[in-house]
Chains A and B, each alone.
Chain A
Amino acid sequence: MGTVAEEIFSMKLSRDVSAGEIVLVDIDVTMSHDNTTPLAIKALRNTGKPLYDKNRIVIIFDHVQPPASVESATLQKEVLEFIKKEGIKNFFREGICHQVLVERGFVLPGRVIIGGDSHTCTYGALGAFGTGVGSTDIGVSYATGKNWFRVPETYYFDVNGSFAKGVYPKDLILKIIGKVGARGATYKACEFGGKTIESMAMGDRLTLTNMAIEMGGKTGLIKTDKVTENYLKSRGYPYKEIVPKDPNYEKIFEFDVDDLTPQVAVSPKVDNVYPVEKYAGTDVDEVFIGTCTNGRIEDLEIVARMFKGKKLNPLLKTIIVPASNEIYFEAMNRGYIKIFMDAGAMVCNPGCGPCIGRHQGVLAPGDRALTTMNRNFIGRMGSDKGEIIIASPATAAATALNGKITDPREVI
């Protein structure tokens, strides 16, 4: 009985669990990447315990892939040694961890998943409880197969209405974060529901849950429904219903997207959210389309439609990074990659791209980037004198076409 979060923990422990309780649970999947695995291995070794269950571990190389420096190559080599020594089978370098975990069927309704990455909160789009932890917590699960959680209270976001032309789920989540604030949902589960969510495709749902952490949320959640069932069944993965039952929400927020307009979050905080008009005409030096927020086929489709037959100014760095190989292949088959390259955009291999500030488009001092990322913190993309503005793929594409921040409704 309860919210989606309470339902998942109750199912896991075969008893009724309520918000506020501290529980020790079996972890279904423990994920980490090239950046966070080295410290997790250290933690495991320091416990003096062996690896508890190698089959419940997934390691993904995505942050700096392939390695861009001697230092990152050295750390990745350490991880590869660990993988070989322990016989870990679930190792992939085919895109961003959160996308690959979903595509490969590790994210299933009712599962409890921890990831050494703050955007692990993404998995709730499929009715799983995913939350980001540090490397030591990953090491704890390596050693014990378990970890502890405080069952979170839930904020419910009741979203209704239809998106106007040129307005997308990214604009909605930016609007929500602008309203709730960067710490407004700290420790809370953020459950999204309502007519708008019900009619959203899985890719768009993942955009919403991905950014729950940007308001402090422990996880983002969406109850399972036909969309979840169809998505999983089309891939041959099992479906299970996870829906709230007489939930007691700590707070309910209502949003109507009928009048929503394209939004931007300006440097240096994700809750600095304004309508795009306020910044229209501002010059940019880089446009980056990709990430675990907006590197999916739905996003690339929007950009391809806008770039088709157009030429971009080569003085502007336009970088596109599909979130996974699967998406890259699909974009190739649909002709999007050719459209991007014909337009003059640089298409990089799947992974986190410049979102980590270590390769594939770092910012110079004074550079301003408009990106589809989830964070605009100082120094995240390179120079601390650079500036990051976050927006939807449509706003990013419109901005790339004009070389200055542009309301996509003027271009579409």
Chain B
Amino acid sequence: MGKVFRFSDDVNTDEIIPGRYNVTTDPKALAEHCFFEVRPDFSKTVKGGDFIVAGENFGCGSSREHAPIAIKASGIKAVIAKSFARIFYRNCINIGLPIMISDELYDLVKDGEDIEVNLKEGTIKILKTGKVVKSKGFPDFILKIIDAGGIVNFLKNHDIGELEDGI
């Protein structure tokens, strides 16, 4: 169970972490500045196991991986959005930050409410109402990367050509 931090549409990577804080590759230091300007209380109030719920096009803008790294290092368990920007989507899968796509959830939860997520089943339960929402599935080859905990972990034990078996 975790608390929802709710964001609107088109949250960009400058909002997730402004360019001027990308002066380190240390995940903890990046997490300190996560949503630093648009939601200054975020890094102080977020707890391990919390969730981000957002509208369309989450993570648009720059290709900086500092953005999903900052979110992951904040302790966020999963980002659940109506849709993701393309580069951010790849980055999350590559670094092993769980993402889920759901059109429905956004209008069913408020900021600060509790949800329970089952990543394997792809389900999200809203504790207040008991309603369960199912997220959109991933193609098989992406599941391979997710199951390995990210592409780097995948490559530790596999050849990249093995991804093709899932294509």
Stretch at the interface among B45-53, B82-90, B116-124, B129-137: B82-90
Q: Is the CB of A384 within 8 A of B63?
A: no
What's the Cα separation between A140 and B85 when bound, in Å?
20
Q: Is the CB of A75 within 8 A of B85?
A: no
Q: Is the CB of A24 within 8 A of B63?
A: no
Residue of B nearest to A188 (CB): B86
A24-B161, A38-B25, A269-B10 known; A358-B61 Cβ under 8 A:
no
Which one, A48, A49, A116, A148, contacts B63 given CB within 8 A? A116
A137-B94, A186-B85, A380-B14 known; A357-B20 Cβ under 8 A:
yes
Q: Is the CB of A216 within 8 A of B60?
A: yes
Q: Is the CB of A380 within 8 A of B94?
A: no
Residue of A nearest to B24 (CB): A71
Task: Please name all residues of chain B whose beta carbon is closer than 8 Å to the beta carbon of A135 when the two chains form the complex.
Answer: 65
Which interface residue of A48, A72, A137 has the most chain B CB atoms within 10 A? A137
Which one, A216, A358, A380, contacts B85 given CB within 8 A? A216
Which one, B12, B24, B155, contacts A144 given CB within 8 A? B155
Check B1 for interface membership: any CB of A closer than 8 A: no
Stretch at the interface among A227-235, A301-309, A332-340, A371-379: A371-379
Check B102 for interface membership: any CB of A closer than 8 A: no
Q: Which of B126-167 contact A (CB under 8 A)?
A: 139, 141, 150-152, 155-156, 159-161, 163-164, 167
Which one, A116, A187, A375, contacts B61 given CB within 8 A? A375
Task: Please name all residues of chain B whose beta carbon is closer than 8 Å to the beta carbon of A117 when the two chains form the complex.
Answer: 62-63
Q: Is the CB of B22 within 8 A of A382?
A: no
What's the Cα separation between A117 and B25 when bound, in Å?
16
Check B37 for interface membership: any CB of A closer than 8 A: yes
Q: Beta-carbon contacts of B39-72 to A below 8 Å, as 1s and 0s?
A: 0000000000000000011001111111011000
Q: Is the CB of A39 within 8 A of B94?
A: no
Minimum Cβ distance to chain B for residue A385 (Å): 9
What's the Cα separation between A218 and B24 when bound, in Å?
27
Task: Please name all residues of chain A whose beta carbon is closer than 8 Å to the beta carbon of B20 when the two chains form the complex.
Answer: 356-358, 362, 379, 382
Q: Is the CB of B65 within 8 A of A378?
A: no
Check A210 for interface membership: any CB of B closer than 8 A: no
Q: Beta-carbon contacts of A161-202 to B below 8 Å, as 1s and 0s?
A: 000000000000000000000110011000000000000000
What's the Cα separation between A358 and B20 when bound, in Å?
5
Task: Please name all residues of chain A whose beta carbon is closer than 8 Å to the beta carbon of B163 when the two chains form the complex.
Answer: 24, 148
A39-B25, A375-B14, A377-B14 known; A186-B152 Cβ under 8 A:
no
Q: Is the CB of A136 within 8 A of B141?
A: no
Q: Beta-carbon contacts of B15-47 to A below 8 Å, as 1s and 0s?
A: 100111011110000000000011000000000
Known: A24-B163, A132-B63, A186-B83. 10 other contacts (CB 8 A): A35-B64, A39-B65, A117-B62, A120-B63, A134-B94, A136-B151, A136-B152, A140-B160, A143-B160, A358-B20
Q: Which residues of A contact B (CB under 8 A)?
A: 22-24, 35-36, 38-39, 42-43, 46-49, 69, 71-72, 75, 115-118, 120, 132-137, 139-140, 143-144, 146, 148, 182-183, 186-187, 216, 218, 269, 356-358, 362, 375, 377-380, 382, 384
The 5 A-B pairs of least Cβ separation, nearest first, read A71-B23, A134-B91, A183-B57, A384-B37, A136-B94
